[in-house]
Copies of this chain bind each other. A is one copy, B any other.
Amino acid sequence: MASRTDASQKTDPLEELAHRFAATRRLSLDLVATLSDADASAQSMPDASPAKWHLAHTTWFFETFVLRDHLPGYRLFDSRYPFLFNSYYEAEGPRHARPQRGLLTRPSLEEACIWRAHVDAALQTALPDLPPAALALVELGIHHEQQHQELLLTDLKHLFAQNPLGPAVWEEGAIASEVAQISADSGQGALLWIKGADGVIPVGDAGGGFAFDCEGPRHDALLTPHALASRPVSNGEWREFIADGGYRTPSLWLSDGWAWVQAEDVEVPAYWRDGQMFTLAGWRDIDPAAPVTHISFFEADAFATWAGARLPTEFEWEAAAAPLDPLGGQQLDTAGPVQPRAASGDTDLQQMFGSVWEWTGSAYRPYPGFRAAPGAVGEYNGKFMSGQFVLRGGSCATPRGHCRASYRNFFYPHQRWQFTGVRLAKDL
């Protein structure tokens, strides 16, 4: 990341914030550059949202919590938009039903972009005079938009995968460097076990930079002796699980997982079909050396049971990741058809950051002493703390700079349209 090496030149925090705001907003537009108005407006399932909606919702966040709340005299660009583009903030009043988002053919993609430009300009103008509380919300809004960039990519992937034509979001030319190259040496490195630290270990956000509320308070965790796999499980290993009847053996599965497998006729990871997998560049061969992705928690857990291992806890993962560079690994730098690639084959911990989100065995619950922030932005994380599991480390679709060792992502155990994978752990 250039922004690190030349940090000495970006001494003005306000300028730096303005720069990151602009860069983040620009990347969102880059991500939709190849889309038609229809591509950007369709919704393929209630869990997903149209690309246009992501563009608009992130704009709503800045307009509402920064401009409306902190810029005296600011008038909403369109007073009807908050109803349409509020996601789940109860404190902000009623809102459009989530499963109906694909019916909003108006405003158009172009109109949404005009709104974006208006808000961007207003915010950049206002920035120098904003109070610290508003600047913190700009910072929050940048990280919020980065989350939506990843969702935008995974939602697009889901939408395009429903089309029998199997269209690519990005065409051939763009792919070479990113998607599904079969690993040159036809195999990933051997999976090694790396011993982790045990005993009382401090975890959680240590301050000194941006973090979401759910990453704190920092506190001690007690780790038992254990080891982590040196890299995530690969597609080739997953095929062994399939060949061994993994999807047909109830004793490997959690009860809810087995019910899900049967109800949904699950036999392979999402987007696998006939020996190929669907990517943002269309249908591609499966690289046996690349990390398996688009698996649910239930699948990750069943695989671990089959392998005689278990999932790591979120703190085992965090303790191992703490000394590593969160800016490393395969993460999102520019718009394009991202897909996880094989690990390098080194013998230490690989692909902790980027590549695939790693399911942990930890339920997503509050840390000791957690209190949600007051007001609407307090609805950001705390209210989702039931029924979901923590994932760690970011993926190839996570904007570089967004993730860190204390970062907690969370999804329901059956969900698998994100770039989710699994790293094994075992007791020592």
Please give the residue numbers on chain A whose beta carbons come within 8 Å of chain B beta carbons, in ascending order. Answer: 36-42, 44, 80, 83-84, 88, 90-91, 96, 100, 102-109, 159, 162-165, 167, 200, 219-222, 224, 250-251, 253-258, 297-298, 301, 361-363, 365-366, 368-369, 378-379, 383-387, 389, 413, 427
Contact = CB atoms under 8 A, between A and B. Distances in A.
Given A106-B167, A254-B384, A383-B255, A162 B222 contact: no
Nearest to A42: B105
Contact of A80 (B84, B103, B164, B368): B164
B253 A162 contact: no
Contacts of A162: 100, 103
10 contacts: A36-B38, A38-B105, A80-B164, A84-B164, A90-B250, A103-B159, A106-B163, A107-B165, A221-B222, A255-B386
A103 B44 contact: yes
Nearest to A368: B224
A413 B412 CA distance: 14
Given A80-B165, A103-B159, A298-B386, 8 more contacts: A38-B40, A38-B105, A41-B42, A44-B103, A102-B102, A105-B159, A220-B222, A363-B365
Nearest to A255: B383
A386 B297 contact: yes
Contacts of A383: 253-255, 258
A353 to B, nearest CB: 25
Contacts of A96: 164
A387 B260 CA distance: 13
A165 B79 CA distance: 11
Contacts of A83: 164
A178 to B, nearest CB: 21
Contacts of A298: 386
A44 B88 CA distance: 22
Nearest to A297: B386
